[in-house]
Amino acid sequence: MSDMFVLSEEHQAIREAVRAVAEAKIAPFAADVDEQARYPKEAAAALLAADFHAPHVPEMYGGAGADALATVLVIEEIARVCVSSSLIPAVNKLGSLPVMIGGDEQIKKTYLSRLAAGEGFSYCLSEPDAGSDAANQKTKAVRDGDDWVLNGVKRWISNAGVSEFYTVLAVTDPDKRTKGISAFVVEKSDEGVSFGAPEKKLGIKGSPTREVYLDNVRIPGDRIIGKEGTGFATAMNTLDHTRVTIAAQAVGVAQGALDYALGYMQERKQFGKKIADFQGLQFMIADMGMKVEAARQLTYAAAGRSERGDKDLTFFGAAAKAFASDTAMQVTTDAVQLLGGYGFTRDYPVERMMRDAKITQIYEGTNQVQRVVMARQLLNGVQSKL
């Protein structure tokens, strides 16, 4: 992908195909998914049937083999109508990318092929005392013969209980700090794995967020991802790539709110004319459109760097995630304002979009953490010289 961000015919076709699925088979259920705080089973079935549930999985493992930009387009278009549903491909990429980055061929073949067939994959990094301080892991993995035995608690795990597989970060050598953390694949069916009650959340209510409990979970030795002690580096590398998918979610929900506000403004009348004719509101909508497009271009630029593995991906991933999510929060809030009292009710989708947008500023690293990441990159001279 060039940095001119002109979508190829193939990428345009992917956008159109995802949009058709999203509007026909996901959007009609979005309000009920939110209201009932239930998993979007209709979206899950539709995405699996269209091979959009985990588009990043390489063709050699039975996946669609989508590049980073195509995956961004899939997530963006789904988030435009239902952010909860967009977490299906987003979390599948987050959970499985450590396997793709650090795993040997056997573990890739075993788990990526099953992911491509429809078994979900979640990511277990966060803990009660390890949120932004991700290195402060307490979960432990101890060798026992050829096996590993895991004990600990993981918190804020997206799609927990639904996914079949979990990338789990655990301490294997407490004396080596981050170089003593390793990554493993844990299966939902493993003895000793259990889940807490679903969190009662402000938004993304259709994506279950639960604690994952590991109580003497014994797994075969070949379920370690890469070499012992490489887990933390793999986890951070993963986030460089997947922050781009969060930016895509943010762009999608912002675009959805903008679309709805534009339609409303051209129908709603006050003082004898359409509210779209009032200059003050035109200024609002202009700012919304400008920021959404800026966020989209930055996200696509980051996707290109993700695909190529550029050295400045860390900066661009953090920048895209922070800028797009801040934009999503502002745009969705402004959409509620443009609808006035109607925007504040559940009869209209923008209040749901506003609630859903908030999480994009928080997960996969708060936007305060993203600014720390960006500052370090700039001070180290890593960012591209433009």
Task: Tell me the pLDDT tens digit for each residue of 272-288.
Answer: 999 999 999 999 999 99
Can you read off the two tokens belonging to residue 208?
């279950």
Q: Are 156 and 363 in contact (CB under 8 A)?
A: yes
Residue 157 β-bridge partners: 210
Q: What is the pLDDT of residue 91?
A: 98
Nearest Cα residue to 357 out of 18, 84, 69: 84
Coil, helix or strand at residue 127: strand
Please give the Cα distance from 297 to 293 (Å, whole number): 6
Segment 10-28 shows an average pLDDT of: 98
CA-CA distance, 351 to 335, in Å (whole number)?
8
Q: Which residues contact 92 (CB under 8 A, 6 or more apart)?
A: 53, 54, 56, 115, 120, 121
Q: Closest Cα partner for 264 from 338, 352, 333?
A: 338
Average pLDDT over residues 197-222: 98
The Cα–Cα gap between 319 and 246 comes to: 11
| Region 343-367 average pLDDT | 98
Q: From 220, 197, 194, 198, select the one nearest 207 (Cα to Cα).
A: 198
Tokens of 163: 């996914």
Identify the active-site residue in 76, 77, 351, 364.
Answer: 364
**Over residues 76-92, mean pLDDT:** 98
Residue 1 is predicted with a pLDDT of: 33
Q: Cβ contacts of residue 116 below 8 Å, gap of 6+?
A: 54, 57, 61, 62, 63
Query: What is the C-alpha separation between 324 and 319, in angstroms, rounded?
Result: 8
Least confident of 4-13, 21-30, 356-365: 4-13
Q: What is the dihedral of CA 252, 38, 262, 78, to 10 degrees?
A: 30
Task: Report yes or no: 150 and 141 within 8 Å, Cβ to Cβ.
Answer: yes
pLDDT at 4 over 60: no
Residues 180, 229: contact at Cβ < 8 Å? Answer: yes
Query: Is residue 59's pLDDT more than 70?
Result: yes
Q: Which two tokens stand for residue 96?
A: 């499985």
Q: What is the band of 6 on the pLDDT scale with cuts at 50, 70, 90?
A: confident
Q: Mean pLDDT throughout 192-210?
A: 98
**Residue 361's pLDDT band (boundaries 50, 70, 90)?**
very high
Is 127 assigned a catalytic role?
no
Contact call for residues 291 and 327 (beta carbons, < 8 A) = yes
